[in-house]
A and B are shown apart, each in its own frame.
Chain A
Amino acid sequence: MQKIGVFICHCGTNIAATVDVEAVTEAIKNEPGVVYAANYQYMCSENGQALIKNAIAEYGLTGVVVCSCSPRMHEATFRKAAQEAGLNPYMVEIANIREHCSWIHKDKVEATEKAIILARAAIAKVHLNAPLISGQSDVTKRALVIGGGIAGIQTALDIAEAGFEVDIVEKSPTIGGKMAQLDKTFPTLDCAACILTPKMVDAKSNDKITLYTYSEVESVKGFVGNFEVSIRKKARYVNTDLCTGCGECTTKCPSRKAKSEFNMGLMNRGAIYIPFAQAIPNVATIDPQYCIHMKTGKCGLCEKVCSAHAIDFKQQDEIVEQKYGAIVMATGFNLINLDQFDEFGYSKYPDVVTSLEFERLMNAAGPTEGTLLRPSNHEHPHTLVFVQCVGSRDTSGCGKPYCSKICCMYTAKHAMLVRDKYPDTEVYVFYIDVRTPGKNFDEFYRRAVEQYGVHYIKGMVGKVTDKDGKLIVQGSDLLENKQLKIEADMVVLAAAVEPDPSARSVASMLTASIDTNDFMTEAHAKLRPVESPTAGIFLSGMAQGPKDIPETVSQASACAAKVIGLLAKDHLVNNPCVAQSNELRCNGCSNCEKVCPYGAISYIEKEVNDHGVREVRRIAQVNEAVCQGCGACTVTCPSGAMDLKGFSTNQIMAEVDAICR
């Protein structure tokens, strides 16, 4: 019989206000095996932990139950305390009477009854607990960063700085991401290229960083410290070792139908192209969808003009296999598709553009070389209307329920830049709320209003129509209680941001969780914001949620610090709650081997002694260093031979019995 101590936490009033902790203490102190029961205001505090340690020494406890918050919060804390008092940490069980009880109930009588039942279940489990010893696994001292935008670049640079190898996988032909497309950056208005391109060059020249551009993650196996990843390097049909990036092929290519991704489709590019002049790597890529040679076998002009003989129409995709200790999700964002917002006429009128298109129209390296012209007739616009919250804060199903966070600031930036460059323009901004928290952010927005005379209108645009070559913007001015009809030359829509569509598939490969909007979920929203709940997966940039460049860079460095902390370790302590196979029950069916996502189960021929009968059988064997304790094998096993240490069928049945008692 175990000697069990039960400790009930008040959690201030979090638990004690809804659960009668004294009643719980009274109710469980006569449970079989319980030799000590106490309650305390904050069990996780130093005094609370001392209470556990002293009781272990004084009463010779062999098991401990703490009735407190979720085990995700403090299981580690209490296990450590028990260990310090000489008890095996896996003899500690948590009864979650906060998240599962006090926080979700209002009635104190009911909540107290439930808390007692949850405590009894944990006590029943501890009776069957056995001491478990953790094994160790090695750490591959190399990190993978998925996504080569500013988030991925910054994370990779910081990890490399600490002396670890880093690979960046970027699906487009160049690193740089969205930031490379921007004109100026708030709140200081320095040009995006001027501050980004040196970082891109650093990433390329750093001997610890390997860039896999035009590449995608194909599959991920393994676990924290030991991921095995295959990366597909898509065929560029250009030998990157030979290509000098001279651009001769890109100017000679007769195919001009492909829309330039870098210029948001506002101009066309060749079938062979370099996304932009400062692209890293500065090599050409052939787009087979538009290449005349690849489609008809004719042309081949690029091959003729290339003095470096770099064109290789027979190039194939290449698969690179690499091992990593940690993986960073830096998959970034896109603006949402505006098909659901017919009222703004985006697909109908060329002069209605998104903010990202507007960046290109203002950019010196853009389609108009930095002169703002109406896309419809290439004339100078005199009246511009900016519409904020297009698809953001939208719960109707057309857009996104969240605030995209960056639009208020970049719209103020756009408005200010237009007024600065073209003082003869009138600029209107329709806003619902102006949200500019951040260092020097509100001052920036006020400058747009006070210094540059941008007309900020509290209200929303209802519809955009056209009349005699002008756009008629109909919207409400709530402060003046008027409906406005503005004759505009251009309308700029601050469309909501959304995670890159690749995030969902990459996250499922990594078994990392995402929220309902496909943003990556943090291990803890406040206390572990750059880690995924899946060990070894880290989060950087917009993949985790909307954020601007300063915030992205801070988070990217924070993420790097967490990766470095992991890679600096020589060994990781494994979770000892792993599967084990009962060789007498195993029928050799191989089902467990097939479902194991970690490849931890193999079959061996072994002589067993089944009640005096000696025979050689084919039985399952678990590699404890590889097993992550997910339990897939235990529910698959038809003969009940597979069990999970610390979560055995017997333990769980004992809990169920205690609850149903």
Chain B
Amino acid sequence: MDKFLQEQILRMSGVNTRKCMKCGKCSGTCPAYDEMEYHPHQFVAMVESGDIDALMQSNSIWTCLSCFACVERCPRSVEPANLIEAVRLAVIRQQNANHLKAQEIPENLEEKLPQQAIVSAFRKYSK
């Protein structure tokens, strides 16, 4: 139980985990479910119980597609993807290193990549 980290995640994400009624619709709808060690509903439950370290060390924060299907379909407006993003940010801030630097983008670009995906990736992998 890491109170400090928990509060940080909750503040960054703006999520109120107590609103969750544990229906599992987020994980039912998640297209990246099989790629994730911890699933969207588990992020909500684990942040609620303060089990943040496990989430930060998990690959799940990188395999989440940030498609926001879970946010869209949650019947209680809990917004699990915002929590996952907050955990990701906590990792990036802690390591004091971006996973993606602006100058690296041109060499990683594929012609067919939609611009939206570039913006989204930059948001996802950097401060």
- Decide: A475 near B28, CB < 8 A? Known: A389-B23, A432-B21: yes
By beta carbon, the residue of chain B nearest A341 is B73
Q: CB distance A460 to B33 under 8 Å?
A: no
State the CA gap A354–B101 with chains docked (Å).
51
Question: Is A462 an interface residue when CB atoms closer than 8 A count as contact?
Answer: yes
Q: Does A516 contact B (CB under 8 A)?
A: no
CB of B27 within 8 Å of the partner chain: yes
Closest chain-B Cβ to A317's Cβ sits at a distance in Å of 43
A478 touches B41 (CB 8 A): yes
Q: How many residues of B contact A (CB 8 A)?
A: 22
Contact of A483 with B33 at beta-carbon distance under 8 Å, contacts A395-B19, A460-B25 already known: yes
For B34, what are the chain A residues with a Cβ–Cβ distance below 8 Å? Answer: 483
- In the complex, are the beta carbons of B76 and A478 less than 8 A apart? no
> Given the known A-B contacts A459-B28, A462-B28, are A481 and B22 also in contact in the complex, defined by CB atoms under 8 Å?
no
- A396 near B22 with CB under 8 A, answer no
At the interface, yes or no: A458 with Cβ under 8 Å from chain B? yes
Beta-carbon contacts under 8 Å, B57-112 to A? 69, 73-77
Partner of B29, one of A462, A477, A481: A462
- Selected from A343, A395, A458, the residue in CB contact (under 8 A) with B24 is A458
Whether a CB of chain B sits under 8 angstroms from the CB of A398 is yes
Cβ B27 vs Cβ A478 within 8 A: yes
B12: Cβ under 8 A from any A Cβ: no
B30 at the interface (CB under 8 A from A): yes
Q: A483, B27: Cβ atoms under 8 Å? A: yes
Per DSSP, are chain B's interface residues mostly helix, strand or loop, or mixed? helix
Question: Per-position contact with B for A414-457: 1 when CB-CB < 8 Å, else 0?
Answer: 00000000000000001010000000000000000000000000
Given A343-B29, A481-B39, CB of A459 within 8 Å of CB of B75: no
Once the chains bind, are B27 and A396 in contact (CB under 8 Å)? no
How far, in Å, is B94 (CB) from chain A's closest CB? Answer: 28
B74 near A462: Cβ-Cβ < 8 Å: no
Q: Is the CB of B29 within 8 A of A478?
A: no
Residues in B whose Cβ lies below 8 Å from that of A397: 77
The answer to whether A461 has its CB under 8 Å from any CB of chain B is yes
A460 close to B28 (CB less than 8 A):
yes
Find the A residue at minimum CB distance from B69: A462
* Complex CA–CA separation, A394 to B41 (angstroms): 17
> How far, in angstroms, from A398 to B24 measured CA to CA in the complex?
17
A430 vs B28: C-alpha distance when bound (angstroms): 11
Q: Say yes or no for A629: interface residue by CB 8 A criterion.
A: no
Contact check, B28 vs A461: say whether CB atoms are below 8 A apart.
yes
Check A534 for interface membership: any CB of B closer than 8 A: no
A210: interface (CB < 8 Å) = no
Interface string of B38-68 (1 = CB under 8 A from A): 0101100000000000000000000000000
Q: With a CB–CB cut-off of 8 A, which chain A residues contact B24?
A: 432, 458-460, 475-478
Which of B41, B69, B74 meets A396, CB within 8 Å?
Answer: B74
Q: How many residues of A contact B (CB 8 A)?
A: 24
**Contact residues in A for B39 (Cβ distance below 8 Å):** 476, 481, 483
| Most chain A CB atoms below 10 A, which of B34, B39, B42, B73 | B73
> Is A399 an interface residue, CB under 8 A from the partner?
yes
Partner of A462, one of B19, B25, B76, B77: B25
* Residues 452 to 510 of chain A near chain B (Cβ within 8 Å): 458-463, 474-478, 481, 483
Most buried by A among B23, B28, B30: B28
Please tell me if the beta carbons of B21 and A393 are within 8 angstroms of each other in the complex.
Answer: yes
Asked, given contacts A462-B27, A462-B73, A483-B34, whether A476 binds B22 with beta carbons under 8 Å apart, the answer is no
A483 B25 Cβ-Cβ under 8 A: no
Most buried by A among B23, B29, B34, B41: B23
Q: Cβ of B74 and Cβ of A459 under 8 Å apart?
A: no
B74 CB contacts on chain A under 8 angstroms? 396
**A76 to B48 alpha-carbon distance, docked (Å):** 49
Q: Which of A343, A396, A398, A476 has the most CB of B within 10 A?
A: A476
Interfacial chain A residues near B23, Cβ < 8 Å: 389, 393, 432, 459-460
Q: How far is the CB of A546 from chain B (nearest CB, A)?
A: 17
Interface flags, A341-383, vs B, CB<8A=1, else 0: 0010000000000000000000000000000000000000000
Please determine whether A474 and B29 come into contact, CB atoms closer than 8 angstroms.
yes
List the A side residues contacting B22 at CB < 8 Å. Answer: 432, 478
Q: Are A459 and B76 in contact (CB under 8 A)?
A: no
CA distance A463 to B39 in the complex (A): 16
Given contacts A462-B30, A462-B69, A476-B41, contact A399 B75 (CB under 8 A): yes
- Shortest Cβ distance from B77 into A: residue: A396
Q: Which residues of B contact A343 (CB under 8 A)?
A: 29, 73
Most B CB within 10 A of own CB, among A395, A397, A477 = A395
Closest 7 CB pairs of A and B: A462-B29, A462-B28, A460-B25, A476-B24, A476-B28, A394-B75, A459-B24
Query: What are 19 sample pairs from A and B whose C-beta atoms fall under 8 A apart?
Result: A343-B29, A393-B76, A394-B76, A395-B75, A396-B76, A432-B22, A459-B24, A460-B23, A460-B24, A461-B25, A462-B25, A462-B30, A463-B28, A474-B29, A475-B28, A476-B24, A476-B28, A476-B33, A476-B39
Extra contacts, 15 of them, besides A462-B30, A463-B73, A478-B27 (Cβ < 8 A), are: A343-B29, A393-B21, A393-B75, A396-B74, A396-B77, A432-B21, A459-B28, A460-B28, A462-B26, A462-B28, A475-B28, A478-B22, A483-B28, A483-B30, A483-B33
